[in-house]
Chains A and B, each alone.
Chain A
Amino acid sequence: MTRTITIDPVTRIEGHAKITLHLDEAGRLSDARFHVVEYRGFETFCEGRPFTEMAGITARICGICPVSHLLAAAKTGDKLLAVQPPPAARQLRRLLNLAQLCQSHALSFFHLSSPDFLLGWESDPAKRNVFGLMAADPELARAGIRLRQFGQQVLELLGGRKIHAAWAVPGGVRTPLSAEARDWILERLPEAKATVALALELFKGLLDGPLQREQGTFGDFPSLFMGLVAADGGWECIEGAIRFIDSTGRIVADGLSEDDYADFLGEAVESWSYLKFPYYKPLGYPEGIYRVGPLARLNVCERIGTEWADRELAEFRQRSGTAGSGGRIVTSSFAFHHARLVEIVACLEGIEQLVADDTLMTGRIRARASLNANEAVGVSEAPRGTLFHHYRVNDEGLITRVNLIIATGQNNLAMNRTVAQIAREFITEPVAEGAEIPEPLLNRVEAGIRCFDPCLSCSTHAAGQMPLRIALVDAGGKVLAERVRD
């Protein structure tokens, strides 16, 4: 008889998910799948709301990266007004996004994932968490907590609150950078840099030693990578154009506009699955598999553009780049963790440069206009990858249709491939009837998902075009009968 082992819930990720491990008649692992089990329906209930409310409503999609939705909604709003935000406003939005990337990546690394490799895959599951880290290594935990705090505090200094600030608006932002905020940032930057330097040193040491196997087996496969790049090919988080690069380092497509996303992003449906799989249309499905997020952003860009970050990028590629790409492209999903740390460096250096610009305190910050277009697409790089907002509005500015393409959803195919690869690597013996798979092995499978730092509240709100994909199938591929609950 075939069996299914369910990991429920997947912990230390954002949102509700389960993983199923499928065993064949002999008790051998045949497949593993990642299921997202929440859905709220934003695309439906945003209809009829004024487009100016979209920033406030869609921020509630996610409490970790509300800034991503705020920025995408504001950029979509710019186009509905048919205005260009003033230069200072664009830089202030960039500052906001850099601070968000910093806090979100610090959360992913220190609070959620580091217990696996700092406390150990085999360590007591009751203590394998941020509180366990606080007990085992209080200095490191405190440093990590304060690094996340740095990013959160910058968000509050700009927008008035840490979570769900309504600060970016169509046409620009509401308030400039204050002198107090600038001074606080400059005062705390050295400590933040020291913390990420410490984390990088620690993590590289682990990569050289105990984490070598994980680096090679946690979702290491060829795929396309997608992300925004600046006009000169540099690392970009809010403006620029979309680039696809493949695992050999060849640029597959460049200079794509978010306006045309439907031309190059397609969605497929699996018979065993409800959640669609986005793919790069010209390559078809599933060959058009692509990844987004920190790893993808480091793969698509030519350089970051600040000194320390560029050194870290070079070392990242030298350490983990594949031979087939001449060391240019990193294909292991485990490298998402390292990529996050490199991006924190990029963010801190970027923040330092931005706050030195006095126009952020004195320049014009908001272009005002009435509605001048009925349809627009906005894009930003969320911590987890490229985020698209697409609105249609009537002449009164009321939303008639919404489509959200969320970063995490675009990694769905890669996340499934990752859990299956890890399960095959670590669960090699048949599992006897009545026997259990040891918890540390199950934790490794879960940790494959943590590499992607998925934001499932986000991803399933995009269900208008990107529904949550769920399926439970038997060994013959048959979808099991409908569940009935009273």
Chain B
Amino acid sequence: MSSSTSKLRFATVWLAGCSGCHMSFLDLDEWLFELAAHVDVVFSPVASDIKTFPDNVDVCLVEGAVANADNLELALLLRERSALVVSFGDCAVTGNVPALRNLWSDGEQASRQAVLERSYVELADTGAQHPHAPGIVPELLERVLPLHEVIPVDLYLPGCPPSAERIRAAIEPLLHGAAPAMEGRDMLKFG
């Protein structure tokens, strides 16, 4: 691996989301060549086969809400190993669509009970049970959480998904050690 030491170590992660933010990242299209001149992509579900989140990451984009134990574990790990964490897209920023399941909790049971009961018990033909397998299938959390309820984040990049233009405007300054101007409707609109 012959990465030049001057390049930023760049990572992307998806938690509970639809991958739309990553697709919008890929919509950077040919600007990805310019990005590649400034960063080494050291971890990414769409652009790396590295399986363990590495040390000394400079910038990490995190798509998705925190919905299960694997999401939580990865969020804690990436925070520990990243200098700058970007809450990437509405699911990470607010919980968004995945967090709709939180509405299905009542005093007696958490929302995970409701969604698991519907799928794996009420609508199962045989062998009704909640999925679980140690070390393989992560437990759902009681509530779906936005990223900042689990770890401190350094930058919020909203949108469902944020457009490629907005993504570029947010990360391009970071490549040069500057902070992006996250203000105005172009940069801060949900949806």
Contacts and interface: CB of A to CB of B under 8 A. Distances in A.
Interface of A: 6-9, 11-16, 18, 20, 35, 37-41, 43-45, 57, 60-64, 66, 107, 111-112, 124-131, 134-135, 138, 142, 145-146, 148-149, 152, 161-164, 267-269, 271, 274-276, 443, 457, 463-465, 467-472, 479-483, 485
Contacts of A111: 26, 46-47
Interface stretch (B15-23, B146-154, B168-176): B15-23
Contacts of B132: 470, 482-483
Interface stretch (B80-88, B116-124, B181-189): B116-124
Contacts of B19: 14-15, 62-64, 457
Which of A35, A45, A129, A470 has the most CB atoms of chain B within a 10 A radius of its CB?
A: A45
B48 A485 contact: no
Contacts of A131: 32, 36, 41, 47
Contacts of A39: 68, 115, 119, 131, 140
17 contacts: A40-B16, A44-B114, A45-B115, A63-B18, A63-B22, A66-B18, A107-B23, A126-B49, A129-B46, A130-B32, A163-B20, A163-B24, A269-B127, A274-B131, A464-B118, A481-B134, A483-B132
A60 B134 contact: no
Interface string B137-161: 1111000000000000000000011
Contacts of A20: 136
Contacts of A134: 32-33, 36
A107 B116 CA distance: 32
Given A12-B46, A162-B24, A164-B20, A470 B131 contact: yes
A142 to B, nearest CB: 6
A-B complex: 5 closest residue pairs judged by Cβ atoms:
A63-B20, A41-B115, A483-B134, A274-B131, A463-B119
A274 B24 contact: no
Contacts of A463: 119-120
B168 to A, nearest CB: 14
A39 B15 CA distance: 11
B53 to A, nearest CB: 11
Contact of A457 (B18, B41, B123): B18
A269 B36 contact: no
Given A145-B29, A472-B135, A480-B134, A130 B47 contact: yes
A145 B25 CA distance: 12
A45 B135 contact: no
B133 interface: yes
B49 A125 contact: yes
A443 B49 contact: yes
Contacts of B69: 485
A118 to B, nearest CB: 14
A222 B16 CA distance: 35
B106 interface: no
Interface of B: 1, 14, 16-24, 26-27, 29-30, 32-33, 36, 41-42, 44-51, 67-70, 96-98, 100-101, 103-104, 111, 114-116, 118-120, 123-127, 129, 131-140, 160-161, 163-164
Given A45-B104, A161-B163, A467-B120, A37 B137 contact: yes
A18 B137 CA distance: 9
B139 A485 contact: yes
Given A9-B45, A467-B123, A472-B136, 18 more contacts: A35-B133, A41-B114, A44-B114, A45-B101, A62-B19, A112-B46, A126-B1, A127-B1, A129-B46, A148-B29, A162-B24, A163-B161, A164-B161, A269-B125, A274-B120, A457-B17, A467-B124, A470-B132
Nearest to B72: A485
A8 B114 CA distance: 28
A37 B163 contact: no
Interface of chain A, main secondary structure = loop
Contacts of A130: 32, 46-47
A465 B49 contact: no
B32 to A, nearest CB: 7
A470 B30 contact: no
B17 to A, nearest CB: 7
A464 B119 contact: yes
Nearest to A403: B123
A142 B30 CA distance: 7
A64 B23 contact: yes
A274 B129 contact: yes
Nearest to A267: B125
B23 A129 contact: no
Nearest to B14: A16
Given A35-B136, A134-B36, A57 B97 contact: yes
B50 A125 contact: yes
Contact of B133 (A14, A112, A148, A471): A471
B22 to A, nearest CB: 7
Contacts of B97: 40, 57, 60
A149 B119 contact: no
A468 B137 CA distance: 10
Contacts of A12: 45-47, 49
A66 B160 CA distance: 12
B108 to A, nearest CB: 16
A149 B164 CA distance: 12
B174 to A, nearest CB: 18
A149 B23 CA distance: 11
A145 B101 CA distance: 36
Nearest to A463: B119
A40 B101 contact: yes
Contacts of A13: 45
A469 B120 CA distance: 10
